[in-house]
Structure 1
């Protein structure tokens, strides 16, 4: 899967803390021209954008969901995302697990686990 093909990307685990990857990824993708939708249950503001508090709130035309959360939470959020019809997922290093990959293989989803989206979207 080539993330450069997408325009609308959600970051699950976006953070208002500029030192965290959930913030760095939002800023990096925006600087590369992607439309980014931060998701954080606290409704924080990330790089000037108010975050969505749940995956359910995301626009249905969001093309890729990037996970920057621990795998234990990631599996539950992934299952919700699939139930809402999302089918393209990116798990940053440390966000994936064997359980997540096993679940993804049981769906008709496209996914990447363990690669950094900031590197993969470098032009």
Structure 2
């Protein structure tokens, strides 16, 4: 996955809690110039950015979905993401599982996992 071509990033599991990665990642990527769309049913706005409630509400031009949710939740959202045509998926450490791996393999999707998006975007 070429992070240099990524502009619009959806963060699945976004939160208003500034101590959690669902918020830290939003602030980090925003500071690096990415357009961020937080995805959460819990809040209307995070860090001054309007949220969307579900993956189906995302604009089609989102370049990357970053998962910051437990694997069980992530598997269900992965299924929804593929259903709506999103194929660039990134699973933060702790968000990936064998079940997600099997599902992606079955659907011929390669995803980034067990790498931190904040670290990897520092390399570009």
In the superposition, the TM-score normalised over structure 2's length comes to 0.94
In the superposition, the TM-score normalised over structure 1's length comes to 0.95
> Does residue 1:66 correspond to 2:66, yes or no?
yes
CA positional deviation for 1:51: 1.1
Output one character per residue of 1:19-68: Cα deviation in whole Å (capped at 9) or x when no partner.
00000000100000000100011134211112111111000110100000
> Does residue 1:85 correspond to 2:85, yes or no?
yes
Output one character per residue of 1:87-113: Cα deviation in whole Å (capped at 9) or x when no partner.
010000000001101111122433111
CA distance in 1, matches of 2:112, 2:2: 9
Report how many residues are paired. 123
* Structure 2 gap ranges (5+): none
Partner of 1:45: 45
- 3-state SS, counterpart of residue 28 of structure 1: helix
**Root mean square deviation of aligned Cα:** 1.1
Partner of 1:107: 107
- 3-state SS, counterpart of residue 9 of structure 2: strand
